[in-house]
Chain A
Amino acid sequence: MSEILNTLMQDARIWQGHRHNKTTQPAEPTGYPVLDNQLGGIGWPRGALSECLLDAPGIGELSLLTPLMQRLSMAGKTVFWLNPPHTPYAPALARENINLDQVVMIHTQNKGDLLWTLENCLRSPVTGLVMAWPGKLATREIRRLQLAAEAGSNVCVLFRERRYAEQNSPAALRLELEPGDQQSLKVSVVKRRGSWPGQRCSLAMARRAGLLHSEATRVVQGPWPTSAR
């Protein structure tokens, strides 16, 4: 086989349906072994876009990234939050052992600025992780970001609404996030490089609120007097 084709196979840009390739593309472990397994044993791809598709915040979507944030920020890499819908709460981040000196929050006025900022962050060697809440994006714009991501070797995660799951996207990894039982997070792989999508797993995320499965609820007193409302 030609050399070019070999390289493409190695990077899992081309893959054959009957074979399950171990890819050699660079990646960062997610910190959740269950999820890593589902992603071919590697984790978040570096130098490529990832998308998380979810309906509403508060289902454990940030906890999915805290192990990575913690590792990168401690290694001296900068973590960018671009246009987050709410305020990333510093005491909680500090509690997760994230080095806040490496966390930079950016708010942009319009989409042109957002794309420009994302591109600049992605191309810089100081960046470890870029998390962005871009809103509506055209496929052409995602393609542009994908190219910028390839220029650097950072993890870039876009948080988007779940309705975009149907939309075609050039991102290398697409995950659909849903809340599961007992505060867990159900992750289903919509797309990934090098293999068939469709893997599902459930991650225990109760820890994010200090809750444990076994423990009964610790509300001291039923605080909801139904008659009062």
Chain B
Amino acid sequence: MLWLYLHFPHLLLDHIRRTSENVSALVIVEGSGQKVIQACPTAQSMGVKVGMRLKTAISLAPELGIVRADQQQEARILEDQARWLYRYAAHIVLVPPNGLLAEVGSLQRLYGGLPAVWQIVEEVLHERQLTAWPGIGHTPLAARLIARNGKGECTLDKNHILRIIGQMPLLTAEFDERTCTRLQRLGLNTLDEVFRLSPADMARRLSPETLAYLQKIQGSRPDPQAPWQPAHYFRQQADFVQDIERSQGLLFPLQRILSELEKDLCWRQQDTDSLLLMLQHRHAEPTRLRIRTSGPEHRAEAFLNLISLRFEQQPLQAPVVSLRLTVKRFLGREAPGGQDLLGESQDLKEAWHTLMSRLQARLGENALKQLAPKADHRPEQAWSASEVRRTSRVAATTTNQLPQRPLWLLRGPQPLTEIPQAWFTGPERISGGWWDDRRVHRDYYIAQLSNGQLAWVFRDVREGWFVHGWFG
């Protein structure tokens, strides 16, 4: 087994920096807000140092962007990193707060050697604008020690790895303070010197936990790691240093998230038809937007178009602190065949979905309707309007059995205000609805009014005359 450890020295900083367009000086402060714990290069060039008091930092760089560290947020960001790493390696372990462990020994044949694996990881890190110190070790702890000390090398040689670790001073080997002083009192300064003690000696002089720790580094004691499993949904969040007041400003971070979604969907070989966008505000309830497409979709561009249409319709209620995009609904992707059974090409189908999604995004989901006849004798109940859907069902064949009906149906019967000029067919008695309290008992006639309109009129039980439709 060979392990790759990725140590992210300032993950939160990287996360925030890549979601904002214009990069100004930025620091992360600890929970209590007193001390700087991470500083971006711009801030560092202005003299801000890690460990500095916040007040000093602000006086050095007045325009400083400040973000407070948040454990939950860090855990979430770490998981985001695991998600992309999962595309390259199967066995991943999260090491909170800022490390990832991946088993790479089994990947060598897949990628063609360890250097290739190393190169891929470095490329992806670069692409994602992430700072990470990689380290390779024959045990998880060895990899971790090497990575955290920035001594990472692409090597397979176990002895070489042990030599690197051996040279490390005790202080960097992450012993607790008491063990460290005790070892120093024994006159031991590097790990190598500790390794050279015999196990019996060590057990007598040191605590059993320390022995186990040392053996785990060396690899003489098993150190099982439970693999992390990716959740079956997509979730990404962008946090902003400064509140975003106009929706236009949300499109830049969204574009990045959506292209990540596109990659994720491609990788899953799936599509989706609904996105959930949550905008967090500082002093108000979060805004939740559901973006629906009318069919399976995976292109980032299409999603972005729909979202920007939605933003045009619905201005922001309050400045946005962070946004989160969640996708929980995944659909199987259809094989891109040239033509399906109906002779409909893929392009046309896609164009149809794009058009419907665009219209729905701007007009609202209820603005578009598809019509269908229903088996009922009452004219009001004999049709239905439903949401638009691309169906491939063959048109009903019983069309000639349908009775003669007008092409226009009024939304409700209108009183007949004049005496018709001519009468045609009738009466057609329609009576029913005793089963659902929408009783209809009418005699229908076709009649022509004085201005030439051909009307569908009826007389109800109370001898009232109404127009119910026009033969358009």
Q: Would you call B409 and A219 a contact (CB within 8 A)?
A: no
A105 at the interface (CB under 8 A from B): yes
Q: Would you call A105 and B355 a contact (CB within 8 A)?
A: no
Given known A124-B355, A217-B422, A219-B424, contact A95–B400 (CB-CB < 8 A): yes
A210 at the interface (CB under 8 A from B): yes
Which residue of chain B is the closest to A103 with respect to CB atoms? Answer: B371
Which residue of chain A is the closest to B425 with respect to CB atoms? Answer: A218
Interface residues in B383-432 (C-beta closer than 8 Å to A):
383-385, 388, 390-391, 393, 395-396, 399-400, 402-411, 419-420, 422-427
What's the Cα separation between A188 and B87 when bound, in Å? 68
Among B368, B393, B463, the one with the most A-chain Cβ atoms within 10 Å of its Cβ is B368
B410 to chain A minimum Cβ distance, whole angstroms, is 5
What's the Cα separation between A222 and B443 when bound, in Å? 13
Stretch in A24-32, A35-43, A59-67, A137-145 with 4+ CB within 8 Å of B: A59-67
A172 at the interface (CB under 8 A from B): no
Q: Would you call A91 and B383 a contact (CB within 8 A)?
A: yes
B401 to chain A minimum Cβ distance, whole angstroms, is 9
Pick from B393, B400, B408, B423: contact of A58, CB under 8 Å: B408
Given known A113-B363, A209-B406, contact A106–B470 (CB-CB < 8 A): no
Q: Would you call B384 and A90 a contact (CB within 8 A)?
A: yes
B436 at the interface (CB under 8 A from A): no
> What chain A residues lie within 8 Å of B452 (beta carbons)?
56, 58-59, 178-180
What's the Cα separation between A109 and B393 when bound, in Å? 32
Pick from B419, B445, B453: contact of A57, CB under 8 Å: B453
A17 at the interface (CB under 8 A from B): no
Which residue of chain A is the closest to B389 with respect to CB atoms? Answer: A101
What's the Cα separation between A9 and B309 when bound, in Å? 41
Interface residues in B332-370 (C-beta closer than 8 Å to A):
342-344, 347-348, 351-352, 354-356, 358-359, 362-363, 367-370
> What chain B residues lie within 8 Å of A219 (beta carbons)?
423-427, 445
What's the Cα separation between A224 and B449 when bound, in Å? 14
Given known A86-B409, A125-B351, contact A210–B470 (CB-CB < 8 A): no
Q: Would you call B372 and A106 a contact (CB within 8 A)?
A: no
Q: Would you call B368 and A101 a contact (CB within 8 A)?
A: no
What's the Cα separation between A124 and B347 when bound, in Å? 12
A69 to chain B minimum Cβ distance, whole angstroms, is 10
Given known A91-B405, A104-B370, A183-B448, contact A120–B355 (CB-CB < 8 A): yes
B224 at the interface (CB under 8 A from A): no
> What chain A residues lie within 8 Å of B445 (beta carbons)?
219, 223
B446 at the interface (CB under 8 A from A): yes
> What chain A residues lie within 8 Å of B352 (beta carbons)?
78, 124, 126
Interface residues in A49-78 (C-beta closer than 8 Å to B):
55-63, 66, 74, 76, 78
A-B contacts counted at CB < 8 A amount to 206
Which residue of chain B is the closest to A179 with respect to CB atoms? Answer: B452
Binary CB contact string for chain B from 425 to 458 against chain A (1 if under 8 A, 0 otherwise): 1110000000000000001011011011111000
B373 at the interface (CB under 8 A from A): yes
A78 to chain B minimum Cβ distance, whole angstroms, is 7
Binary CB contact string for chain B from 250 to 281 against chain A (1 if under 8 A, 0 otherwise): 00000000000000000000000000000000
Tell me how many residues of A have a C-beta within 8 Å of chain B. 65
B235 at the interface (CB under 8 A from A): no
A88 at the interface (CB under 8 A from B): yes
B382 at the interface (CB under 8 A from A): yes
A99 at the interface (CB under 8 A from B): yes
Pick from A58, A93, A100, A109: contact of B454, CB under 8 Å: A58
Pick from A76, A94, A103: contact of B370, CB under 8 Å: A103
What's the Cα separation between A115 and B455 when bound, in Å? 31
Q: Would you call B408 and A57 a contact (CB within 8 A)?
A: yes
Which residue of chain B is the closest to A124 with respect to CB atoms? Answer: B355
A211 at the interface (CB under 8 A from B): yes
What's the Cα separation between A113 and B426 when bound, in Å? 42
B175 at the interface (CB under 8 A from A): no
> What chain A residues lie within 8 Å of B470 (beta carbons)?
57-58, 86
> What chain A residues lie within 8 Å of B355 (beta carbons)?
120-121, 124, 126-127
What's the Cα separation between A117 and B352 when bound, in Å? 14
Pick from B367, B409, B443: contact of A108, CB under 8 Å: B367
A87 at the interface (CB under 8 A from B): yes
Q: Would you call B391 and A101 a contact (CB within 8 A)?
A: yes
Assuming A90-B383, A97-B399, A100-B395, what are 7 further A-B pairs, CB within 8 angstroms?
A: A89-B405, A92-B405, A94-B395, A106-B367, A218-B425, A223-B426, A223-B443
Binding site for A on B (CB under 8 A): 342-344, 347-348, 351-352, 354-356, 358-359, 362-363, 367-374, 379, 382-385, 388, 390-391, 393, 395-396, 399-400, 402-411, 419-420, 422-427, 443, 445-446, 448-449, 451-455, 459, 463, 469-472
Q: List 17 A-B contacts (CB under 8 A).
A: A57-B408, A59-B452, A63-B472, A86-B409, A87-B411, A89-B407, A90-B383, A91-B403, A92-B407, A113-B363, A117-B363, A120-B355, A121-B355, A178-B452, A180-B452, A209-B471, A218-B425
